[in-house]
Chains A and B, each alone.
Chain A
């Protein structure tokens, strides 16, 4: 088990190197001059050259990548210019490790951007996760147990409708009607949980529902399918024959076995969401990681884009690893070989 975890950790590190490397190549080795994207309307060759130097774009991609990686461990200065550091230390921005970079359009280090955006994304992800797991798994179990009868039909039908509606459509309907037109709920804006937990939740209801709607629909389908499968297994019949109560069978045997694939999916979905729910955050202007990513694409803020890809990928890769490890605990049939 221990060796397995060590090996998985190693592969996570390798994977992250590969991902950042690829992302760097994709964005910085293209034919387009990345400095061009830092230059606004009155762009002169002097400004272009200045920005290129200040952001290190004048160096080969592998040097830039090396600086990015070393910045993660030892921090960086922007602009990275020894002369300027000596003459005008007040003009140099220091970005301490783990330094993700510096956004020329926001005049902030990406660390500070992420620090302010992340709580928003986490809040959205966790609340939505709780709702969709309860609705999705609960609905799936009820549907499976009533297979073919009306509760099943209603649940499966509404899950299919939810599954077929695009996220931004649900989000915009929720924003336009309950919030703006009817005024039942506030137009979402982020309030820190530690500032006011009630306002926090009150403002997040709509983003939570939007995300939960989509995910709950697929979890209903998933849970239902696995429950039906496990409930027809022989050991369930054995348990029934042994005279165990219905609910004990459902919870102890049926759901537990069906749980393995659900946990896998849930872990991966949550991992992806912690890196920001792009569409939901955009619809509600919640300034989480997803919104930041979209916004930096709109203004072509390359350093931020690369960091966002890295952050989301990190979550996915780590979620993958945790799910694999969790497998071993939930499902005794799975053996993790080191």
Chain B
């Protein structure tokens, strides 16, 4: 949380006149310890998620092997302290199978982050392109896109995600000749990405509308630059701030949506773990095996929180209000 007071910001702004926006942002971020720590966490989670398939291939992580000797009693709960926490099983084991919970959470993170990142990329790309076109072209095209945005935003996103899942996942499976897991992932990416772009397109459109009147665009236009050149060479470089902020802020939303979908029964095919499927199971163990409930829950919370903090930090650091005053 960058909690510089108004006065500080003013003073700072006076002192840093003449620096590039990137320098300003960097110096602001450097003073923002909370964001830095959160960024550390976020990078850690991303690296962990990226490494998980390798670690699994090297057998350092094993999310699939059952250890039926580690569970027992009526209900096959983990034996031992706190859900079976040990040197080998850092978060204990899963009830019913004895699979290593840490390995499952880390592999689940990979799936969830992959879905979240791809969906975010899809919405940001769509949103940027459509916002750019809509804002620059104006007139009928702008009107049409605005109506399309209204239209898409009128659909209930969560309901459409669960309602379409049964039908669309089967279609994707047949069309792409893949198993249920990749088909579910593609489905979630497509639908989350599709419902994510309109609000971002609105932001971009607003930015473009204000940039359009600026001198450098006028200059480019009078020099005879084509429409596409203006879009991508002149306007796009000025839009990286909202793109960055929005991408960071939509990530935690996507992660949470993936988990919520798992909770509602739409998710990745077992045995592949995802946050959604792990939490869907573990929430019902809140009473019987609290460790199984708490470890994945807290991990999800930390992931979402760190991305939220990073997004907030970026937004504050890139605040256009304080931009080169």
> How many residue pairs between the two chains, A and B, have CB atoms under 8 Å in the bound complex?
113
Q: B100-130: contact bitstring with A at CB < 8 Å (1 yes, 0 no)? A: 0000000000000000000000000000000
Interface membership of A57, Cβ < 8 A: no
Interface membership of B256, Cβ < 8 A: yes
Interface membership of A27, Cβ < 8 A: yes
On chain A, the residues within 8 Å of B300 by CB distance are: 166, 169
Contact (A152, B308) CB under 8 Å given A166-B256, A297-B162 = no
On chain B, the residues within 8 Å of A163 by CB distance are: 308
Within 8 A of A (CB), among B140-184: 150-151, 153-156, 158-160, 162-167, 170-171
On chain A, the residues within 8 Å of B170 by CB distance are: 32
Interface membership of A19, Cβ < 8 A: yes
Interface residues on B, range: 35 or more
How far does the alpha carbon of A308 sit from the alpha carbon of B164 in the complex, in Å? 13
Main SS at interface, chain A: helix
How far does the alpha carbon of A265 sit from the alpha carbon of B260 in the complex, in Å? 22
A282 touches B283 (CB 8 A): no
A173 touches B286 (CB 8 A): yes
Closest chain-B Cβ to A258's Cβ sits at a distance in Å of 15
Q: A303-333: contact bitstring with B at CB < 8 Å (1 yes, 0 no)? A: 0010011001100110010000000000000
> Which of A43-51, A204-212, A239-247, A271-279 faces chain B?
A271-279
Contact (A229, B321) CB under 8 Å given A163-B308, A293-B163 = yes
A153 touches B1 (CB 8 A): yes
Contact (A309, B156) CB under 8 Å given A152-B3, A166-B259 = yes
- Interface-centre pick from B4, B252, B264, B279 (highest chain A CB count, 10 A): B264
Main SS at interface, chain B: helix
How far does the alpha carbon of A31 sit from the alpha carbon of B171 in the complex, in Å? 8
A19 touches B151 (CB 8 A): yes
A160 touches B308 (CB 8 A): yes
Contact (A15, B167) CB under 8 Å given A229-B321, A279-B260 = no
16 additional contacts (CB under 8 A) given A176-B286, A313-B154: A19-B154, A27-B163, A148-B4, A152-B3, A160-B308, A160-B309, A160-B312, A163-B308, A168-B260, A169-B297, A229-B321, A297-B166, A308-B163, A309-B159, A309-B163, A313-B156
Please list the residues of chain A having a beta carbon within 8 angstroms of any beta carbon in chain B.
15, 18-19, 26-27, 30-32, 147-148, 152-153, 156-157, 160-161, 163-169, 172-173, 176, 180-181, 229, 232, 272, 275, 278-279, 282, 290, 293-294, 297-298, 300, 305, 308-309, 312-313, 316-317, 320
Residue contacts A-B, CB under 8 angstroms, 26 given: A15-B150, A27-B163, A27-B167, A32-B170, A148-B3, A148-B4, A163-B308, A164-B301, A165-B304, A166-B259, A166-B279, A168-B263, A169-B279, A169-B300, A172-B286, A176-B286, A229-B321, A278-B159, A278-B264, A279-B264, A294-B162, A297-B166, A309-B155, A309-B156, A312-B159, A317-B154
